[in-house]
A and B are shown apart, each in its own frame.
Chain A
Amino acid sequence: MQTITVDPITRLEGHGKFDIFLNDAGEVENVYFQVPELRGIEKFCEGRPVEELPRITQRACGVCPGPHHIAASKACDGVYGVEPPPAGKKLRELFLNAHFIHSHIAHFYALAAPDFVVGPQADPTTRHVLGVVAKVGLEIGGAVIGSRAKAQRIQAIIGGKATHAVCGLPGGMSKALTNPDEVAEIRKHCEDLVEFGKFTLQLFDDVVLGNSAYVDLIVNGPYTMKTYYMGMVDDKGRPNFYDGRLRVIDEDGDEFATFDPKKYLDHIAEHVEPWSYLKFPYLKNLGWKGLRTGKDSGVYRVAPLARLNVATGMATPVAQQAFEKFFTVLGKGPVHATLANHWARVIELMYAAERSLELIRDPETSSPVVRTIPTGIVGEGVGVIEAPRGTLFHHYNTDGDGMVTRCNMLVATGNNNAAICMSIRDAAKGLIKPGVEVTEGVLNMVEMAFRAYDPCFGCATHSLPGQMPMEVRVHDARGVVVRNVIR
């Protein structure tokens, strides 16, 4: 049996590898996708004061800290049994939407666009963000950098810092947005970001949808998979990243469940495989049936494509137009084409920009009352939001003094673990055939299967499961293995 290994995989957040096993006929027998990171954040949160967790858990990642900070803050609300005032919630939502903006910009332009603008099988020395800029122009490159900076500036004003904020507290926020100069600055940035969102939608139209080969790849390539989908929606069934109910639909688009996110343990369970540090969440009422599709399989997906699939529409006008076009072009939902995540991501960028402008224009967002001071303790709290990469759950238990006794984080990318494994396997089976040379370009096209999910494995691998077989290879700066430790 021949093995093809891609280690490490590229253009994602975090680290991963996959091994493709070919049988004697040269066909793909199986593919194992593994996440070799081991983080342990859930474990070392134990014993800490729970109000520290918004600042600690966001250190899981330097790319996705904002969502962790907000989810942790919501969980702390639950621990102390307090509800933030409206301005506190709106500031948190504005902070979170600003994070969506720069996160989606970074993924689309730096991680995904090289495959579509430069080409999936282009020379790897040009198939990166600078190759994209060489094709679209320095001016657009500057606009990308500048737009990310504006979104992060919004986060810095609200959160104290753009990365690893310090604003979330049990019951609300540490600082109100009452400075008129800051309000004006945020408003100007939001207006600019709305325009950049429109520009990005148009760019996607011109470069991707205007290229029939790319459309064919999205619709007919080996990247289609029928699964269940989950996302957070408001009372009108539209995505809201900060609050709402969780809606799950089946592969035909019929509603499977809608529930209070705090009751997630009634609906989601986790399966463990011995060959990966990342657990496999699945729909509890269907059960774990393995890495396969089928209406009886508990595998579900989250993130942009899932959020659009479960939604009845978008809550802002330009995003709504884009949503309608999405389902007109790709067909009545649910859309099962995994690469359509990239388009859905750009639509979410548009929504986040429009929603941010709505929030900063709302006078209530600038109210000085941003926190409800806790007066008692419940000892358990669940905070659930939508992060750029999917639904994010923070669940804390504390003692009577608010010291953490248990921390469980079901992280966005973790929800997609099973689907990512299956997508890589299906792409490998579709692209690697007997007699076909397995070039670097072909392997990149297999990588495109996970890249569409915008995974963050730094965030997803946070649990310390205890004693398990482990091999640690220590490399020096030149990549030479200098020590091998096996347990």
Chain B
Amino acid sequence: MGRRVLVVGVGSAIRGDDGIGPAVAEAVARAGGRGFEWTPFDGSALDLLGAFAGPPQYDCCAIVDCLANGRLEEGEVARLLPPDDDAPAGGWLSSHHAGILETLAMARRLGTALPADLRFYAVGVKDATAFGEGLSAGLAAGLPTIEAEILSDLGVGLEGGNP
């Protein structure tokens, strides 16, 4: 059986380029072929815990989100490294304060079977707050390139599909 990959697309589909995460996740999963699944993530961090509930399902989890602080050009992809120390796993002030790292730390503390291969990808955008559906023209045009870069990093060949 091939490698099982879950691609998590972080972002809201009605906040313009904030939707790049889910758009990329869907594109990567479709091109990745058998063994690839994707899920959007735009709610409570507890919901992401549910993706890993039960027996181990995935060998790899790739999390994709936008980055709007000017450190990446629009459409530029960077792979982020998680911090060395474990994020606070339970000391939330409210569930709104539980982000990806806090959720993953909690999953480890709960004995949840997280994939050994966890990857974080940031895609540069200019604005992640505009109200509207659909990506901006420039970002939409760059989607195939973004998809190819992430697939390449995941070890999926140009012809697509799990190795």
| Residues in A lying within 8 Å of B, measured CB to CB | 8-15, 44, 55-56, 59, 62-63, 65, 106, 110-111, 124-125, 128-131, 133, 138, 141-142, 145-146, 148-149, 152-153, 161-164, 458
Contact = CB atoms under 8 A, between A and B. Distances in A.
A131 B106 CA distance: 11
Interface of B: 12-14, 40, 42-44, 46-47, 49-51, 53-54, 89-96, 106, 109-112, 131
Give the 5 A-B residue pairs with the shortest CB-CB distance, closest first. Answer: A149-B50, A62-B43, A163-B43, A130-B90, A128-B90
B43 A146 contact: no
B124 to A, nearest CB: 19
A44 B131 contact: yes
Contacts, number: 94
A145 B95 contact: no
A141 B14 contact: no
Contact of B111 (A14, A59, A124, A138): A138
A127 to B, nearest CB: 9
Nearest to A164: B42
Given A14-B96, A44-B131, A149 B90 contact: no
Contact of A65 (B43, B51, B106): B43
Contact of A11 (B40, B46, B94, B112): B94
Contact of A145 (B12, B91, B92, B112): B112
Contacts of B131: 44
22 contacts: A10-B94, A11-B92, A11-B94, A12-B94, A13-B95, A14-B94, A63-B44, A106-B44, A106-B46, A110-B46, A110-B95, A128-B91, A130-B109, A133-B110, A138-B110, A138-B111, A142-B111, A146-B50, A146-B53, A162-B47, A163-B43, A164-B42
B64 to A, nearest CB: 17
Given A59-B12, A145-B112, A152 B94 contact: no
Contact of B96 (A13, A59, A163): A13
Nearest to A133: B110
Contacts of B110: 130, 133, 138, 141-142, 145
B43 A148 contact: no
A133 to B, nearest CB: 6
Nearest to B41: A163
A19 B12 CA distance: 34
Contacts of A11: 92-94
B42 A145 contact: no
Nearest to A109: B46
A125 B91 contact: yes
A9 B97 CA distance: 12
Contacts of B109: 130, 133
A71 B92 CA distance: 30
B43 A164 contact: yes
A11 B95 CA distance: 7
A8 B93 contact: yes
A10 to B, nearest CB: 5
Q: Is the interface of B mostly helix, strand, loop or mixed?
A: loop
A163 B42 contact: yes
B83 to A, nearest CB: 13
Q: Is the interface of A mostly helix, strand, loop or mixed?
A: helix
Contacts of A44: 131
Between A13, A15, A129, A142, the greatest number of chain B beta carbons within 10 A of the residue's beta carbon is seen for A129
B95 A63 contact: yes
B50 A145 contact: yes
Given A9-B93, A63-B95, A162-B43, 19 more contacts: A8-B94, A62-B43, A110-B46, A131-B90, A133-B109, A145-B49, A145-B50, A145-B53, A145-B112, A146-B50, A146-B54, A148-B46, A148-B49, A149-B49, A149-B50, A149-B53, A152-B47, A163-B42, A163-B47
A177 B130 CA distance: 35
Contacts of A14: 94, 96
B50 A15 contact: no
Contacts of B95: 13, 63, 106, 110-111
Contacts of B44: 62-63, 106, 163
Contacts of B50: 145-146, 148-149, 152-153
Contact of A458 (B14, B49, B96): B96
Nearest to A111: B95
Nearest to A163: B43
A55 B90 CA distance: 31
B47 A129 contact: no
Contacts of B13: 164
A414 B130 CA distance: 27
A230 B89 CA distance: 37
A40 B39 CA distance: 28
A44 B131 CA distance: 9
Contacts of B112: 142, 145
Contacts of B14: 55-56, 59
Contacts of A56: 14
A110 B50 CA distance: 14
A8 B95 CA distance: 13
A458 B96 CA distance: 9
A129 B95 CA distance: 11
Contacts of B96: 13-15, 62, 458
A129 B91 CA distance: 9
Contacts of A125: 91
A129 B105 CA distance: 13
A62 B49 CA distance: 15
Nearest to B54: A146
A63 B43 contact: yes
Contacts of B12: 59, 164
